[in-house]
Chains A and B, each alone.
Chain A
């Protein structure tokens, strides 16, 4: 098995938490893993991305070749589109629909949504809405991750273990709410995929 994932977002949105949680799930499932991160200047509100590679065999490159990613997981709609050249022909774009408008020339959100719908395989999720429904606005990233879990060949229980391990330092309540966000994201995605 091999899943290559591009994670995308804006500095500060928590894509490294998604990467770490999926990574933890992969390790729990005894898989190989490489994960390239962006640190430094871009973390100040700029475009950030992470290459996450999971496989049952040894992985060579830290970077995913163009046109081969199985998934793009994005916590912001424009950022997902930025990395489209990495997506394979049959790959899926899983993206949050809520824009982060911290630049003066941010495009028209309707046009963005249309561009996403032009892709054959996509899941567009209102992660902010779902996160506030469960009373934790900060958990939008876990909703998006949840929406991506049906596309990664790892048992769901391993994802739960991964999220648990990542949030355990922040207390039981935080773990619980993030697991709920994960589950809601997954359910949404499974509904949309049908």
Chain B
């Protein structure tokens, strides 16, 4: 089978007896859920596979399915794990019943993200085993065997992908399909009760398991110590970096000793053996310098360690075969230059996009108040930051447009405006709206409702058709919940509505409702 790294994970967990997947869309993790949703196995085995409202609800639901004894996964992008951090850290302490894998896809180089945080740190923080595949086959195998590891120690397992692997296709060999687990309550009825007295005991158990997790790493076939002719430098290659390394050698055979690390915590037994073989070392990590930093330590005087922290490799961004070749000291090839006339081509809103009409109307309505008043969020509409719109001033994290506008309004910036999408609003905007209502903050919340999660390719949005009811339920006054249709022909009317609400000293919500032209087009083609 030819599968993306994401799809390989999806196939691996399905073959290992998955009962349910919980996820919120986010590049580069989205295709795991999409693959499972469209797989024939899903129907046969009745695998639960709908999108969740956000990553926290997804992981909690997965933990519930694990409580009930079944194998389950929660999937998200790296910043999604921030949202799900509370259940993630605590699930390590409760432990699991049915196998639980948390799949997180990091985005080094920020191809489609606002930062490039490295989820291996989160794994270390929660003190759980972390798996980091070097290729699509390992992604499949780790997904397939991850449940057994999880169930053996009653611990959630973190499976970390990065963009290149998530979105690259290669051939996969499958393992036999396993049966799903039956409903089965935890043997200890107090396992999931984290009252302080119980939590202390469970935390001690988690600490005592650390050496066992390390033992698993030293036995794991995903970790390898490959001895080479040349003693120095010894090379540590984590996850995908291993492939970038061997790409540089004839027949993929490294003349240097290589410690390939794909399962954490790092086995100190293997590390000791590796350190015994070399005086100097190079650390290749697709992300932050996690291992490099711990090798250097505070004293930084043991021996020579090279990597991202001393300029052998860039401190930020994803790796590639060329950066690795350069770090080893291989000669660089002659390459063609990009002609000077080539210009950047950033992404832009689609022709006919409803967000564009929202920004045109908003720019006109807000002109009298001056610049710097529009708080926005994560989605296609973030492209409103670019010309010709130049319409927004913030994009920080899911839902922050509502709460930041509220805070700025509290500070006296009146009116303060939010532009947020429908899916982002239900992900993390609703609670902020409640804060604004309780404080009667003078904010104008524009929900640019295209009835889908558009940026990630048009997944189902949680509350399509129910946004006005939700806002009313939260306590926004009915007279100040306005619905407009963002089309050029209604531009003048829309500007009037916006001006009225900008002039209102309280919470108002304007729902600008028109379907995403991409999903509308897809529906039309399908029918």
Contact = CB atoms under 8 A, between A and B. Distances in A.
Interface stretch (B79-87, B165-173, B277-285, B479-487): B165-173
Interface string B1-27: 010100000000000000000000001
A4 B314 CA distance: 26
Nearest to B110: A41
Contact of B321 (A58, A65, A82): A65
A156 to B, nearest CB: 21
Q: Which of A39, A82, A111 has the most CB of B within 10 A?
A: A39
B25 to A, nearest CB: 10
B325 to A, nearest CB: 7
Given A32-B171, A38-B111, A39-B167, A61 B321 contact: yes
B140 interface: no
B342 A44 contact: no
Contacts of A60: 243-244, 246-247, 252
Interface of B: 2, 4, 27-28, 30-31, 111-112, 164-165, 167-171, 240, 243-244, 246-248, 252, 320-322, 325, 333-339, 341-350, 380, 383, 387, 455-457
Contacts of A81: 338-339, 341-342
Interface string A44-64: 111100010000001111111
Given A33-B171, A68-B333, A112 B341 contact: yes
A168 to B, nearest CB: 16
A2 interface: no
Interface stretch (A99-107, A126-134, A182-190): A99-107
Query: Which of B168, B244, B248, B380 counts the most chain A CB atoms within 10 A?
Result: B168
B347 A43 contact: yes
Nearest to A108: B341
Given A38-B167, A39-B27, A40-B456, A107 B343 contact: yes
B27 A63 contact: no
Contacts of A34: 168-170
B168 A67 contact: no
A78 B343 contact: yes
Given A36-B168, A37-B167, A107-B341, A67 B347 contact: no
Given A35-B168, A39-B167, A104-B387, A58 B252 contact: yes
A11 interface: yes
Contact of A42 (B321, B337, B339, B347): B347
A85 interface: yes
A34 B164 CA distance: 11
B498 to A, nearest CB: 25
A45 B348 contact: yes
A103 B343 contact: yes
Contacts of B4: 37
27 contacts: A23-B169, A33-B169, A36-B164, A39-B27, A39-B28, A39-B167, A43-B457, A44-B350, A45-B347, A46-B345, A46-B346, A46-B348, A59-B170, A60-B243, A62-B243, A63-B320, A65-B333, A66-B335, A78-B342, A81-B338, A82-B342, A85-B337, A85-B338, A87-B336, A103-B343, A103-B345, A103-B346
A34 B165 CA distance: 10
B204 to A, nearest CB: 42
A45 B344 CA distance: 12
Q: Which of A38, A62, A85, A89 has the most CB of B within 10 A?
A: A62
A10 interface: yes
Contacts of B347: 11, 41-46
Given A40-B28, A45-B349, A60-B246, 10 more contacts: A32-B171, A44-B347, A62-B165, A63-B244, A66-B322, A84-B337, A102-B345, A104-B387, A106-B343, A112-B341
Interface of A: 10-11, 23, 27, 32-47, 51, 58-68, 78-79, 81-82, 84-87, 89, 102-108, 111-112, 115, 118-119
A103 B252 CA distance: 42
Contacts of B456: 40
Contacts of A89: 334
B339 A84 contact: yes
A51 B322 CA distance: 15
Contacts of A87: 336
Contacts of A61: 243-244, 247, 320-321
Nearest to B388: A104
Contacts of B165: 62
A85 B28 contact: no
Contact of A40 (B27, B335, B339, B341): B27
A67 to B, nearest CB: 4
B249 to A, nearest CB: 9
A135 B156 CA distance: 56
